[in-house]
Amino acid sequence: MRIIKDEDIFKHIDEYDVILVGTNTYCTMSQGLQRDIMLHYPHVQERNMETRYGDKSKLGTIVQVDGKPIFALMYICEGNFRPDIRKDYLDYEALFKSAKISSILFKDKKVACPLLGGSRFDGNGDHDRIMKILSDAFGSLDVDIYDYFQKSKLEKLKEVRENELRVKAVDRLAYYKMVAERKEREKKIKELNGHTKT
């Protein structure tokens, strides 16, 4: 088990055989790494949508989505409809169970994951408690854990727009080129997933 700090796992997906993704029982992959996967690997969300919406019995299970790489959706939390009241909504037992299953299924694979259950979007759990659970559950599994801040859709859009405006202030032609390239990327993303560009 190796910890990679402050590096976005999405930039390294092609380096692994298996990507583990923490998610909720409500079939939503709307923010952070889950959203990146939904946008660029729509077959993963399609498989997720085949599971029962809001079904608590999914907690502690995984859904394996074959491809290159393999994605393993780990159901480690329910939804959190009141984050102002309930900060930590990770199901720690479900995290242990699904991580243990993954350690058996993927024991001969090169595996990566974000800090499962550690982001606002998959449980917002306690960092130290998560690390202990993953260490116990994964055992000798060859896994890289990317420990970084996952951004929301709006945070990413704001960052892109701010970068464009910085360029616009010094070089309008470069700014127009940037915007055209972004629009082309968004067009390709929408063609890929069929419903959204960002």
Identify whether the C-beta of residue 96 lies closer than 8 Å to the C-beta of residue 136: yes
Does domain 2-150 fall into CATH 3.40.220.10? yes
Report, as an integer, the average pLDDT of 11-22. 97
- The bridge status of strand 70-77 relative to strand 143-147 is unpaired
**Over the Cα atoms of the chain, what is R_g?**
18
| Domain chopping of the chain, boundaries | 2-150, 154-193
Q: What is the pLDDT of residue 27?
A: 95
Question: 86: pLDDT confidence band, cut at 50, 70 and 90?
Answer: confident
Average pLDDT over every residue of 56-67: 97
Please say whether the beta carbons of 37 and 132 come within 8 A: no
pLDDT score at 15: 97
What is the per-residue pLDDT for 85? Answer: 87
